[in-house]
Amino acid sequence: MSQGHSSERTTTVRFPEGFLWGAATAAYQIEGGAEDGGRGRSVWDDFSHTEGKVAHGHTGDIACDHYHRLDEDLALMADLGLQSYRFSISWSRVLPGGFGEVNREGLDFYHRLVDGLLARGIVPNITLFHWDLPSALEEHGGFRSRDTVHWFADYAALIARELGDRAPMIATFNEPWCYAYLGHADGHHAPGLRDDKAAVTVAHHQLLAHGLAVDAMRAERNDLSLGIVINPSLARSEGEPPAPADALRRIDGIQNRWWFDALLTGQYPADVMEGFGALADAVLPGDLEQIARPLDWIGLNCYFDSLFSGLDPDPAQAGAPGNQPVLSFPTVRSVRPAPVRAEHTDMGWPITPDGFRELLVRLHHDYPDLPPVYVTENGCAYDDPVVDGVCDDQRRIAFLTRYLTALRAAMDDGVDVRGYYQWSLFDNFEWAFGYDQRFGLVHVDFDTLTRTPKASAHWYRGVVAANGLPG
């Protein structure tokens, strides 16, 4: 890889000294090695091996084969000049049964990863749960069961004990909204349920598990830097008929306020609780106090504004495909996803850097106790081929330029952002989309597993080195 830009280079958008630049991945999306080293199964193994759940029947069995290519991948990270690497731990690799006997071989993989990062001057940023719940726990009711909350805290304590001395930056959950609602309300993700009450229960139990895990980890070590990763998104009306304001407020409550209110104010939003009614029976006295433990930082995964239209009242359109209510939001039945905008990524996601800035500023204003922020994910899917050894993904560079400019503007507006992680380091297993959606800075050929840094990887190396966007 070329040496890129020097830190002396003139930049148009500079970030504060000490700003941390990284890239992120998740265990099931890259590791592979599904059968290796004593790893237990997870709900994503079961889901992806169920016919019809994932595009083309793709699975994470091999993925990027990161489990077997650790040294090559560490060298790649160093070559990219990454200052930090955010990864998740496969719970079932270290605790095949979810609790009880530790799988030393699995744990050793993460020891090697952490040591390998530190040897290259890269700060590890661990996520404990990125959706791959051990199947053994799903058999006990998964996060629908309060028992799992305690097993998660035990698992967190184990990781703090084993890795916390060298990797103190630990997030409990990644995007608990997705695991709750995509996994349990609309069935698009593992474990594939369609049950609103289960979804709300899982939303709550993840937060409770977070709070217990924070205590359990702090009991192991008092020098950890603990956080959680949320995926907030502005809910907006677009198109005709307009989405009713009360539905947008409810969506905002479920996607955004539920998490931030609980974590930072110790209360769930009253309007959301009222809307949920008996769906929220899992919330017991004392839970909110446990959830609202002080945090060292909060991770935000930001991609796009959520755009909705109202349902078309024309009876002829009532059952038409584009007129379906948003199933993954319990009790929201009067809106549908807005038509895909002209300006979108391969995921069909709108490109909304102004919304990104507005969202950050809003969180800063609405939550006086918002801890320092890391943008733990941001990125885009584009399918650009490798031609003569080059993957010229100019659309990704354009996208990132706009989002990083918006991020810097939000910081000028007062938001305390300490770092930014590009999603993702590699093209990888994009959940129900299989390997169709390519988010990586590094292209992966899923036949040969050859890694090819894209143009954006070279560009990002320059951003990191210059601590800002090249002028």
> Which of 337, 470 has the CB closer to ligand IFM?
337
Residue 305 sits in the site that holds ligand IFM (CB under 6 A): no
Among positions 164-193, residues that touch ligand IFM (CB under 6 A) are 175
Q: State the catalytic residue, choosing from 35, 175, 238, 358.
A: 175
Contact 256, 242 (CB under 8 A): no
Residues belonging to the chain: 471
> 201, 301, 328, 352: which one contacts ligand IFM (CB under 6 A)?
301
- Of 373-392, binders to ligand IFM (CB under 6 A) are 377
Q: Which of residues 230-269 bind ligand IFM (CB under 6 A)?
A: none
- The one catalytic residue in 31, 162, 377, 430 is 377
Q: Which of 5, 15, 22, 26 binds ligand IFM (CB under 6 A)?
A: 26
Q: How would you classify the pairing of strands 442-444 and 298-301? A: unpaired
Q: Measured between alpha carbons, how far is 295 from 139 in angstroms, rounded to an integer?
A: 31
Residue whose C-beta lies closest to ligand IFM: 26
- Kindly list the strands in the beta sheet with 335-337, ordered across the sheet, starting from the edge strand earlier in the chain: 235-237, 306-310, 335-337
In the annotation, is 175 catalytic?
yes
User: In the bound complex, what is the minimum distance in angstroms from residue 7's beta carbon to ligand IFM?
Assistant: 30
Size of the site for ligand IFM (CB under 6 A): 8
Q: Cβ contacts of residue 414 below 8 Å, gap of 6+?
A: 361, 364
Q: How far apart are CA 178 and CA 377, in angstroms?
A: 14
CA distance 118 to 114: 6
Q: How far is the CB of 405 from ligand IFM (least distance, A)?
A: 21
Of 72, 80, 69, which Cα lies nearest the Cα of 31? Answer: 69
For the bound state, the minimum distance from the C-beta of residue 41 to ligand IFM, rounded and expressed in Å, comes to 19
CB of 29 to ligand IFM, least distance (A): 6
- Judged by CB under 6 A, the residue of 22, 189, 430, 466 near ligand IFM is 430
Q: Which is nearer to ligand IFM, 4 or 440 (CB)?
A: 440
Number of C-beta neighbours around residue 398 at 10 A: 13
Strands (E), 71-138: 84-88, 123-129
In terms of phi and psi (left: phi > 0; alpha: psi -120 to 50; beta: otherwise), the region of 470 is: beta
CB of 362 to ligand IFM, least distance (A): 20
- Work out how close the CB of 265 gets to ligand IFM at its nearest, in angstroms, rounded to a whole number: 25
* Angle made by CA atoms 64, 66, 71, in degrees to the nearest 5: 135
196 binds ligand IFM per the rule CB under 6 A: no
Q: Which residue has the tokens 């919330």?
A: 283
Strands 298-301 and 169-174, bridge-based pairing:
unpaired
Is 377 in the active site?
yes
Contact yes or no for 336/238 (Cβ under 8 A): no
- Verify binding: residue 423, ligand IFM, rule CB under 6 A: yes
Task: Provide the binding-site residues for ligand IFM, judged by CB under 6 A.
Answer: 26, 29, 175, 301, 377, 423, 430, 439
> So which residues are the catalytic ones?
175, 377
